[in-house]
Amino acid sequence: MALLACKNVSKHAVGTWVLWDITLEVGAGEIVGVFGRSGSGKSTLASILAGLEEPTSGLVMIGDPDQAKPFKVSVAFSAPAYAPELTVYENLDMFASACGMVGRRRAKEIPAMLERLKLSEWRSARASSLSSGALGRLEIARGLLADSPVLVIDSLLDSLDPAVFESLWDYMLDLKRSLTKSFVILTGSGRVAEVCGRIAVISRGRIGFLGRPEDFRRLAGEDVIVLGDMDNPLTRSRIQEQLSVVITEEDGFLSFRVANGERVVGELLSEFGNEMSCVYLKRPTLEDALDVLARGGSSISAGTGGRKAL
């Protein structure tokens, strides 16, 4: 059962369709990535999911109809919401209080959250003195402390330190496994989209792909293997014959495309390792696939709609 669902959501703003016909479902214990370039409509989608903006048409459905108690979707915005006059700890204390968290639980969970997001050393520092990266982490901490079963994180994971990202991701996976929280990760980074269970790729306000990241990557084509200098000119034709590939020369480099690059590199090294100076495997990234998707055009028009809590 979907905890959060958008059905044919469109949004018209400033004379243009920012979102068009977005249909997306987020189930319990799911991490769904919304992957797209800057300006593709991700932040507008976050505001609509949080109930801060109304869609021009379509429906946003929040909650499980079997559960009596409706909930608000929590959002960690790309532009952090914080009180600059308060310390880091006080900011989290204030938001946790606003979410109805009792004192004992706050005293336990806030320090743990600060530790997890490597903010402990700034615990007593005024929020106004934090760097933009630390403010982003404070915003994520605020979102995670909220009791909502769905957290939307808008682009904040893109700029995280790898160490912080890893620690945070492990925690998010724990929450996902225990079905405590589901996540919608809005991102422009292929590295982040790659680790999501399912991604919706958004381009020019529409969803161009919905599925597993590895399936989307295939849109960018096969792996490319670049070969280093070969002493023996016959090696090129032997490789072509043995692997049934077409080797092309570009900018002085020999290269060819294959489906399973890793396996082929292994074969090349064992068979022809002595005859070439190096082998380089270039795997298409999700960004490459996004470029391919973005090259396709679109034209749109719309109707009326609203918002509904199940």
Site of interaction with other proteins (CB under 8 A): 50-52, 71-75, 77, 79-83, 85-86, 90, 93-95, 97-100, 139, 142, 146-148
CB closer to other proteins, 106 vs 217 = 106
Q: Calculate the alpha carbon distances from 149 to 10, 75, 196, 199, 307 in Å.
A: 24, 11, 17, 19, 19
CB closer to other proteins, 83 vs 179 = 83
CB of residue 137 to other proteins, shortest distance in Å: 15
CB of residue 182 to other proteins, shortest distance in Å: 15
- SS3 for 244-308 is CCCCEEECCEEEEEECCHHHHHHHHHHHHHHHECCEEEECCCHHHHHHHHHCCCCCCCCCCECCE
CB of residue 270 to other proteins, shortest distance in Å: 56
How would you class 281 by CB atoms within 10 Å of its CB: exposed for 0-12, middle for 13-18, buried for 19 or more? Answer: middle
Helices marked H in 22-102: 42-49, 88-98
CB closer to other proteins, 12 vs 126 = 126
CB closer to other proteins, 45 vs 227 = 45
**Would you say 55 and 45 are in contact if contact means Cβ atoms under 8 Å apart?**
no
Residue closest to 197 by CA, chosen among 26, 11, 23: 26
CB of residue 97 to other proteins, shortest distance in Å: 4
Distance of CA 43 to the CA centre of its chain: 13
CB closer to other proteins, 99 vs 226 = 99
DSSP code at position 73:
P
- How crowded is the C-beta side of 246, counted as CA atoms within 13 Å? 2
Name the pairing type of β-strands 253-258 and 248-250: antiparallel
CB of residue 78 to other proteins, shortest distance in Å: 10
**Would you say 143 and 75 are in contact if contact means Cβ atoms under 8 Å apart?**
yes
CB of residue 96 to other proteins, shortest distance in Å: 9
CB closer to other proteins, 90 vs 271 = 90
CB closer to other proteins, 148 vs 203 = 148
CB closer to other proteins, 79 vs 179 = 79
d(CA 146, CA 180) in angstroms, rounded, equals 12
CB of residue 256 to other proteins, shortest distance in Å: 50
- Sheet strands side by side (includes 206-211): 74-76, 150-154, 182-187, 31-35, 198-203, 206-211
DSSP code at position 103:
H
CB of residue 304 to other proteins, shortest distance in Å: 25
